[in-house]
């Protein structure tokens, strides 16, 4: 199999299938889920049956339906947060690389300050004070991860800005945003695309961890990290129900990493295995 002129290894193909299946489930959850994510449809801790394939949780909600709606919440939030942190990090990183020494120093020291704070503890403090509403969750995690994107974007942009075509654009009098949009960004896409996949994984796992600790997505909304917390007591009853959301988290993370590894290998080989 080839994609964009590059040979796709079997691991990357498996990763793509995992990603596509999860995205389809997330998009089509209201249409394909047997029940709503908050409907109480059976007895608490009901065993799997032909009607409830994965059984029911501690409140009597269908686990399969909540898994499908949880995919929409977990994946959707992770994508929004990752996209926002990339917008912030790329704009700031590119601006620092080409605008001048003082802005570069100011932004770099600010980023050093943010990176010196333990991410999980900092998130706990912010979410405990401001609450765990979805907008607060999105902005908090995006700001925590934006400094990492800033560093990568700045490093990539600094390598590009010393090239002749960028110097020529500056001599022509092109503005900073024109240079970023037309000269730097197109040439920085490969490493940034690979970093987007990695950052999505970290964000996805971070949201799951916060939900498991009670500071992430709040009931009645379903997300996989919160479901692990809700179902953990079922282990004492001999049920494997907590493994369903935990396995979904692990499977999607592995799938994304398969694709990211392939993208990184293409970037490291330069032109790679062209058609």
Residue 271 lies in a domain: no
If one counts every other C-beta atom within 10 angstroms of the C-beta of residue 90, the result is 23
So what's the pLDDT on residue 116? 87
Residues 6+ apart with CB under 8 A from 135: none
Work out the percent of the chain whose per-residue pLDDT is above 70: 95
So what's the pLDDT on residue 3? 67
The CATH number of whichever domain residue 106 belongs to comes to 1.10.3720.10
Residue 201 lies in a domain: yes
So what's the pLDDT on residue 177? 79
Higher pLDDT: 121 or 170? It is 121
Residue 274 lies in a domain: no
Residue 108 lies in a domain: yes
So what's the pLDDT on residue 275? 36
Higher pLDDT: 22 or 171? It is 22
Higher pLDDT: 267 or 224? It is 224
List the Cα angle 75/76/78 in 5-degree steps.
65
Range of the domain at 94: 9-260
**Distance, CA of 250 to CA of 271 (rounded, Å):** 32
Question: 158 burial class (0-12, 13-18, 19+ CB within 10 angstroms)?
Answer: middle
Residue 94 lies in a domain: yes
CB 251 within 8 A of CB 19: no
What phi and psi, each to the nearest 5 degrees, are found at residue 64? -60, -45
So what's the pLDDT on residue 273? 43
Mean pLDDT of 78-87: 95
pLDDT bin (cut points 50, 70, 90) of residue 2 is: low
Residue 275 lies in a domain: no
Q: How far is C-alpha 94 from the geometric centre of its chain's CA atoms?
A: 22
Average pLDDT of the chain, as a whole number: 87
Cα-based distances in Å from 12 to 15, 71, 82, 246, 258 = 5, 21, 21, 22, 5
pLDDT tens, residue by residue, 169-216: 878 887 777 888 888 888 888 889 889 999 999 999 999 999 998 888
Residue 81 lies in a domain: yes
pLDDT tens, residue by residue, 140-149: 999 999 999 9
So what's the pLDDT on residue 274? 38
Spell 215-253 as b/e; 16+ CB within 10 A means b: bbbeeebbbbbbbbbbbeebeeeebebbebbbebbeebb
So what's the pLDDT on residue 267? 67
Question: 40 burial class (0-12, 13-18, 19+ CB within 10 angstroms)?
Answer: middle
- The closest of 182, 180, 181, 188 to 153, measured between CA atoms, is 188
Q: Is it the case that residue 84 has pLDDT exceeding 70? A: yes
Domain total of the chain: 1
**Distance, CA of 32 to CA of 179 (rounded, Å):** 46
So what's the pLDDT on residue 268? 67
| Helical H segments across the chain, by residue range | 10-32, 63-99, 101-115, 119-130, 134-161, 164-171, 176-179, 185-212, 224-231, 243-268
pLDDT tens, residue by residue, 263-274: 888 766 653 443
Higher pLDDT: 176 or 38? It is 38
- The closest of 22, 190, 157, 172 to 90, measured between CA atoms, is 157
So what's the pLDDT on residue 270? 55
């Amino acid at each position: 199999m080839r994609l964009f002129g590059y040979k796709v290894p079997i691991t990357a193909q498996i990763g793509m299938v995992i990603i596509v299946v999860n995205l389809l489930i997330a998009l089509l959850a209201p249409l394909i889920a047997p029940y709503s994510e908050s409907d109480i449809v059976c007895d608490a801790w009901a065993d799997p049956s032909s009607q409830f394939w994965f059984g029911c949780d501690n409140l009597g909600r269908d686990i399969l339906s909540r898994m499908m709606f949880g995919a929409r919440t977990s994946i959707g939030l992770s994508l929004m947060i990752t996209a926002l942190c990339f917008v912030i990090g790329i704009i700031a990183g590119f601006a620092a690389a080409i605008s001048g020494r003082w802005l570069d120093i100011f932004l770099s020291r600010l980023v050093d300050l943010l990176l010196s704070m333990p991410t999980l503890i900092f998130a706990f403090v912010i979410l405990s004070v401001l609450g765990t509403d979805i907008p607060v969750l999105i902005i908090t995690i995006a700001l925590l991860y934006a400094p990492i994107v800033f560093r990568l974007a700045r490093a990539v942009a600094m390598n590009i800005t010393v090239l002749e075509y960028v110097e020529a654009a500056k001599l022509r009098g092109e503005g900073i945003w024109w240079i970023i949009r037309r000269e730097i960004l197109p040439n920085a896409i490969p490493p940034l695309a690979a970093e987007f996949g990695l950052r999505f994984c970290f964000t996805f796992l971070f949201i799951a961890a916060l939900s498991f600790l009670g500071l992430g997505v709040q009931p009645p909304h379903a997300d996989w990290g919160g479901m692990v917390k809700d179902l953990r007591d079922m282990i004492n009853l001999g049920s494997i129900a907590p493994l369903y959301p935990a396995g979904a988290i692990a499977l999607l993370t592995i799938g994304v990493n398969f694709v990211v590894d392939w993208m990184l290998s293409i970037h490291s080989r330069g032109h790679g295995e062209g058609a």
